[in-house]
Amino acid sequence: MTNRPLPGAAPPPGPSAQPAPREAGPDGAEPGVAALPAARRGAGSGPAKGASPAPVRTAARPGRRGGGGRKSPLARGGWTPWLYLAPALVVIGGLLVYPVYQLGLISFLEYTQAQVSGGEPATFQGFGNYATLFGDPQFWQVLLATVLFAGACVVSTLAVGCALAVLLTRVRAVPRLALMLAALGAWATPAVTGSTVWLLLFDPDFGPVNRILGLGDHSWTYGRYSAFALVLLEVVWCSFPFVMVTVYAGIRAVPAEVLEAASLDGASQWRIWRSVLAPMLRPILVVVTIQSVIWDFKVFTQIYVMTGGGGIAGQNLVLNVYAYQKAFASSQYSLGSAIGVVMLLILLAVTLVYLRLIRRQGEEL
């Protein structure tokens, strides 16, 4: 009668399963045991009878990373990407970093026409220029007007650009081409030329707009709000093509099946835009919004040309024109530099806050 193994027990080793004899190491110990501390090599330190031997740990090879960690992008690519980026970084450093450094430096100095001509040395003022600027009530009025005007321009530009982008997807090839060419023509027009053309269109004596509307000799640039409205129209006219082309490219990348399914479900065009297209185009809308904020917050040419340097008694001043007047009209270059630094900080803060809000919503940019 043969002994049967109990359920769950390992079968007895056969003749071929006998372990091969191992040669002893130099000190008489078995290989692998020599790597263990000497205190653990006693007679009682071996595994119990019937238990499987513990795995032997071997020392890691020098120069290899443990844990299967990934190398950083810099370690994988080395310095090759930075060598390719070096020319662009040098150009950006010369055209952006150094002027910003000089702008911040002058804002902390007393720098007027006397210092420019070399008659007096420039003296360090600390935050004195900023204290003078923040203590001027006109600065806060101009800042409020700039924020409101830039916000109205951004909203109007996005609305017109997105609406025309959706329209481009609904018309045939010939009207779409005509609209694209007209928009790109407006975008390519220099700001000075576009501002002059708009002044001729709304001229109180010879402008066709007043004749068509029957307004007689109404002056659009005399009143504060009408002048801001006229400049806003010109800014939107030369800015919406960028939004239109960018959003149109994003819409064309959306799968047609998604839009067709929304239409079959009975969704209107506004509902398709609000619930389908806008969420899918959010990264693109982030880019065009930030670009519009930067461009419209630092508008200079349109205001300066169309309102004659800021309007009557400075009623149409924005921060860029206000800085120009302080720096070049009044020769207070330090105050003009301080205004420029304030504008830079405001734009950086708005951009960072907007990007943080988008990241909190789970969007990848």
Tens of pLDDT, residue by residue over 296-309, are 999 999 999 999 88
Q: From CA 84, how far away is CA 247, in angstroms rounded?
A: 31
With a cut of 90, say whether residue 355 has pLDDT above it.
no
Name residue, tokens 């693109």: 284
State pLDDT tens for residues 174-228. 999 999 999 999 999 999 999 999 999 999 988 899 999 888 888 999 999 999 9
Could you tell me the pTM of the whole model? 0.73
State pLDDT tens for residues 11-50. 554 444 444 444 444 444 444 444 444 444 444 444 444 4
Report the pLDDT averaged over residues 155-167.
Answer: 94
Tokens of 31: 């290989």
Alpha-helix runs per DSSP H in 169-318:
173-188, 191-201, 208-213, 224-253, 256-264, 269-272, 278-280, 282-297, 301-306
pLDDT at 70: 58
